[in-house]
Amino acid sequence: MSLNKETKHIWEWIPGGVGAPQGFWANGVRAGVKYANKYDLAVIYSDVPAQAAGVFTRNLVKAHPVLLSQKHIRNGLAQAIVINSGNANACLGETGDQAALAMTQKAADCFNLSSENILVASTGVIGVEMPLPTILQGIEKAIAELNGQKREVEQEAKPGSEIKIQAAHNAARAIMTTDLTIKENALEIKCQGGTIRLGAMAKGSGMIHPNMGTMLGFMTTDAQLTASQLQSLLLSAVEDSFNMVTIDGDTSTNDTVLFLANGSSGIKPLGEDFLKFQEAVRAMCFWLAQEIARDGEGATKFLEVQVTGAKTREDARKAAKSVCGASLVKTALFGEDANWGRIIAALGYSGADFDPKAVSIWLGDLLVARDGQGVGFSVRRATEILAAKDIIIKIDLQKGAETAKAWGCDLSYDYVKINGSYTT
């Protein structure tokens, strides 16, 4: 069953981020986790318990908040999420477990909920003790402010949207580390029974690779969905979006994407409406994934690799990611150098099955190799294409009908600079 094309773009992008769906609230504050003046503590809250789904890092080394959230999400319910940047709360043993637990307990106290209904995520440096009193104070402050915003919007009949939008924006700001751009978005879908909304925010930038491409992503919706529906929607969208982003080949200990549905719209999307919602979730994940790639550490260029003609979907994915992640492709991109040999070399070690003598490669729309060999292309035209900020590499493996896309960025001096001095 697939969506009728004409109804495909029924949704509209709206402001408000994760606070856009009915009954959701978000806020971000400057707690002082690592820096005095950076927004670094965020909360997301639903007026009622929400169905919850999550996808977590496949790194064997999992941060303490990842382990705790995996536990708390097991019953498919959550009502709030608390997130800090500036410290990953990873590899700290007992004290790390306790810190993650204390964060959920503090949020539970402030919201008057059970701590089992609170999820938690952290991002930042690994192995450094959490400044727990600072973080707990931050949680108190963020929730006090959020409750104030709620009162203002609900009781005093103020034009609430501006307040909500700004607070959600601060939440999206608070989860950033080396990110340069705030990544948040929301959309609205007209369904038969009325309107449902989807909100999202994410942070990315470094330590990003295959299994769970983003460090942190959060989505909220006021649609009525079960936790298992939510989980399968999330899994399939993450597979083709976040998991196809590669910045530096490093899979983080903290990667987490959470998705909450509180049903506050009163609408259960069925049939065509469900397909629309599914498409919207995918669109949102693609948007976030591309924003993360675009904002890769030190990136000066955005890269999309499109693979067609693969024998299997897995081959297509391997090929696309291998090219996207190859240091030599990434540096050539930075240098605006039409060195397509590095692209075919990366295909060759990708593990994908294909005949090297059948491959075609394009930079943008310029064919540079056919049947595995260079064609006489205009180097001037290639250089023009590579001078753009967004670069598309197309590859036809000529071995089947499967396709995949992967996203990444170039490898620049600034990547080295940023990562040569991150803890200190």
CB of 319 to a copy of itself, least distance (A): 10
Query: How much helix, strand and coil, in percent to the nearest 5, is found in the chain?
Result: 40, 25, 35
φ and ψ at residue 223, rounded to 5 degrees: -70, 155
Q: 209 CB contacts (<8 Å, ≥6 apart)?
A: 246, 247, 248, 249, 250, 251, 325
Q: Which residues on adjacent β-strands are paired with residue 77? A: 51
CB of 351 to a copy of itself, least distance (A): 9
Does residue 214 carry a catalytic annotation? yes
Nearer to a copy of itself, 54 or 124 (CB): 124
For residue 252, the 8-state DSSP code is: P
Query: Is residue 418 helix, strand or coil?
Result: helix
Nearer to a copy of itself, 2 or 424 (CB): 424
- What is the Cα–Cα distance from 300 to 288, expressed in whole angstroms? 18
- Chain residues binding a copy of itself by CB under 8 A are 58-62, 88, 90-93, 96, 125-128, 206-207, 209, 211, 248-253, 325-328, 331-332, 334-335, 337-342, 344-349, 354, 356-357, 369, 371-374, 411-413, 415-424
Nearer to a copy of itself, 266 or 356 (CB): 356
Nearer to a copy of itself, 51 or 243 (CB): 243
CB of 152 to a copy of itself, least distance (A): 41
| Helix H or strand E segment including 140 | helix 132-155
Nearer to a copy of itself, 61 or 270 (CB): 61
φ and ψ at residue 258, rounded to 5 degrees: -120, 145
Nearer to a copy of itself, 193 or 374 (CB): 374
Active-site choice (214, 221, 256, 308): 214
With contact defined as beta carbons under 8 Å apart, do 72 and 81 qualify? no
Half-sphere exposure (CA, 13 Å, Cβ side) for 3? Answer: 17
Tokens read off for 377: 């292309």
φ and ψ at residue 47, rounded to 5 degrees: -60, -30
- What is the Cα–Cα distance from 214 to 289, expressed in whole angstroms? 7
CB of 235 to a copy of itself, least distance (A): 20
- What is the Cα–Cα distance from 401 to 317, expressed in whole angstroms? 13
* Residue type (1 letter), 54: G
Could you tell me where the DSSP H helices lie in 156-175? 160-174
Query: Is residue 318 helix, strand or coil?
Result: helix
Nearer to a copy of itself, 148 or 249 (CB): 249
CA of 315: how far to CAs of 222, 383, 401, in Å? 37, 29, 11
Nearer to a copy of itself, 182 or 338 (CB): 338
CB of 306 to a copy of itself, least distance (A): 19
- What is the Cα–Cα distance from 418 to 232, expressed in whole angstroms? 36
Closest-CA residue to 65 (of 133, 123, 141, 137): 123
**Among all residues, which ones are annotated catalytic?**
214
